[in-house]
Structure formats: C-alpha cells, structure tokens
Chains A and B, each alone.
Chain A
C-alpha cells in the first residue's frame, strides 16, 4: 500500500532536507510568537486585564497544537 509516508521515504534527500528546514523554521516562528504571547499575557494579567491573558493562552495552545501537527510531516530517519 502506498501512502504519504512511503512516498516521502522515497523522495530525494534534497527534498526531505528542504522539508526539514521548512518545518524547523516554522517551529522557531511558533515558539517566538508564543514567547511574545506569554510576555503580553503576563503584563496584561498584572494590570488586571484577565481577558487579554485568556486570549493569549488560547492562541498559544492553538500554536502548540499546530507545532505538534507539523511533527507528522517530519521526514523519517535515514537508513
């Protein structure tokens, strides 16, 4: 049976390398956004704006889910 994984495993190493770099770039972007969200949420929570902290939390969790989802596309180990 042919699926996404087996096709990916057959791809040229250059292709999987590019994909790997793209995923890592996206992950770093996500983490940077989350650091900013945490900082903003904390500052607003300390000025009694709990609503901003709540939205920052929701977005941060969504970004985490996206990050975990990205892991699915990681190319497999070299054999």
Chain B
C-alpha cells in the first residue's frame, strides 16, 4: 500500500508542472504584461483619434423653438430636447437678462446639472462640480471640460436655439 502512494501518478509524468511556476509571476511575465497594457492604451488612443477625425458628433443645425420669453422669469430655467436627438439641454435666464443654453449633462459622468439661481453658477450634485453659467467653463470639482453650449436667439417674444457656427 505505502509503495503505491509514493509512486508518482501517471498524469504527473504526462503533464509535468512546477508549483512555483504556476503560483508566481516572474519579472519577465510582468514586463510582458506591461507591454500588453501599453498596446491596449495605444489602441484606445487610436480609437479616440479615429472616432473624432472620421465620425465627429453631429452639429445642431437649424433653429429650434424652445419657449416664449414670458414663460421664463429671471433666474428661471427650462429643460428641453431638440427634435431628433435625446440629449437633454437646459435654457437659463441669467440675472443680467441674458439667455444661455447648455447641455444638461455634466462633463464628468453625465449627471444632470442645475442652475443655482442668484449665484451665476451651474451645479452638478453628483460630485459637487460647478460651472460658470455665463460661459459654461468648469470652475470647480471633477468636471474636466466646459459644458457644451448652444447659441440662443431671441426673436421678439420667442426663444430659439441653434448650433454654434463652425469655427474654421
């Protein structure tokens, strides 16, 4: 009986392996893995570049009616979407009388943003990010980019929005 236990089982001679090799990562393997990560990051950068060069976001074209001027008191806001797209926008009547329209999507992780009446700032409640309501610039917190904006056109009593003219 004892002799039987001591003999190496057949499968071990067929598939020899060393415990150390299966449990530990060598520095060679680690270096190769870092190379793989490097390749992945390069591929990611390439995807970003291709996407932005050949498939850019569609610009908003044409003028879109939002609401009547009288429907939006000073300091008030109104959410709206543009026909044919699902992006939420927000129209703000600033205290200085100007109208501004921004995407209502935080540039950090896409939470809805809100205008804080009286402060001239747009706030994202998710991670306490703040934007300048006059320019859309990110002024505090995690958002890395300004809020994308639309151009507002006031025609008499009616408010329209349109995309920014291409700056080329």
Contacts and interface: CB of A to CB of B under 8 A. Distances in A.
A54 B49 contact: yes
Contacts, number: 97
Interface in A51-79: 53-54, 56-57, 60-61, 63-64, 67-68, 70-71, 74-75, 77
B42 A34 contact: yes
Interface of A: 20-21, 23-24, 27-28, 30-31, 34-35, 37-38, 41-43, 45-48, 50, 53-54, 56-57, 60-61, 63-64, 67-68, 70-71, 74-75, 77
20 contacts: A21-B27, A24-B27, A24-B34, A27-B34, A37-B41, A42-B48, A45-B48, A45-B51, A45-B52, A50-B49, A53-B45, A53-B49, A54-B53, A56-B49, A63-B38, A63-B42, A64-B35, A67-B38, A71-B31, A75-B28
B18 to A, nearest CB: 12
Given A27-B38, A67-B38, A37 B56 contact: no
A32 B46 CA distance: 17
Given A53-B48, A57-B45, A63-B42, A74 B34 contact: no
B49 A41 contact: yes
Interface of B: 27-28, 30-32, 34-35, 37-39, 41-42, 44-46, 48-49, 51-53, 56-57, 107, 144-146
